Amino acid sequence: MLNIIKYLVVPAVALVLTMKIYNWLNETLVPKAPETTEESKQEVLIGGPFSLTNQDGETVTNQDFAGKYMLVYFGFANCPMICPTDMADISQALDKLDDTQLEKVQPIFITIDPERDTVENIKTFLENFHSKFQGLTGTNEQVAAAIKEYRVYNRKVESDELQDYLMDHSSFTYLMGPDGKYVAHFSHEDGANKIAEGLKKYL
């Protein structure tokens, strides 16, 4: 009887206890993969067709960039702070890419202020940033359509100090894939290094 306890019951109890401890450790210590929700499975509905005019007065549509990654930023040339900072960050990030990576990406600035951002104004504005940028403007309707496709928040704000108006706007930079679909986005806080690292993952 003692032998049975010694050779069967004790090892059996030990085994069960070991498995229980193993399971407990596994549940406690191993981080769980986030559950895939219905929402995250859905395609992100950002981006779509546009037809606009570039800084050289040429008509440009999303189809012209098919097969390339588009890095899309919406803003306005008169922006005192946010747009110039973001455009400079994007430009510096592009400088950190090698030639092969740079070849795959098309940086695009789209105005949210077509009334003031004429073709000429956009051309002047772009002189401060990476030479690969295309700057796009258009009629109010064309610009409104692009803004809607990219779900860009924008609002006209009268400024007494500047005797003119400003545009309050969201400041995300969208990376769109060669198929024109949303890949990733960068925010105003990201800065050149983070944008460059992010771009290198895909290019």
Q: Kindly give the pairing relationship between strand 69-75 and strand 173-176.
A: antiparallel
Q: Is 88 in the site for Ni ion (CB under 5 A)?
A: no
Contact 150, 72 (CB under 8 A): yes
Choose, by CB under 5 A, the member of 55, 65, 75, 121 that binds Ni ion.
75
Q: Is 110 in the site for Ni ion (CB under 5 A)?
A: no
Interface map 16-55 toward Ni ion (x if CB under 5 A) = ----------------------------------------
Q: Is 147 in the site for Ni ion (CB under 5 A)?
A: no
CA Rg, the chain, in Å?
27
Using the 8-state DSSP alphabet, how is residue 28 labeled? H
Q: Is 114 in the site for Ni ion (CB under 5 A)?
A: no
Choose, by CB under 5 A, the member of 46, 82, 88, 97 that binds Ni ion.
82
Q: Closer to Ni ion at the Cβ: 1 or 81? A: 81
Q: Closer to Ni ion at the Cβ: 82 or 102? A: 82
Q: Closer to Ni ion at the Cβ: 51 or 85? A: 85
Closest separation in Å from C-beta 182 to Ni ion = 21
User: The tokens 């206890």 sit on which residue?
Assistant: 17
Q: Is 79 in the site for Ni ion (CB under 5 A)?
A: yes
Tokens describing residue 80? 């005192």
3-class secondary-structure state, position 100: helix
CA 115 to centroid of chain Cα atoms: 26
Contact 178, 71 (CB under 8 A): no
3-class secondary-structure state, position 141: helix
3-class secondary-structure state, position 7: helix
CA 183 to centroid of chain Cα atoms: 7
Q: Closer to Ni ion at the Cβ: 112 or 176? A: 112
Q: Is 126 in the site for Ni ion (CB under 5 A)?
A: no
Choose, by CB under 5 A, the member of 60, 70, 77, 83 that binds Ni ion.
83
Q: Where on the chain is the footprint of Ni ion (CB under 5 A)?
A: 75, 79, 82-83
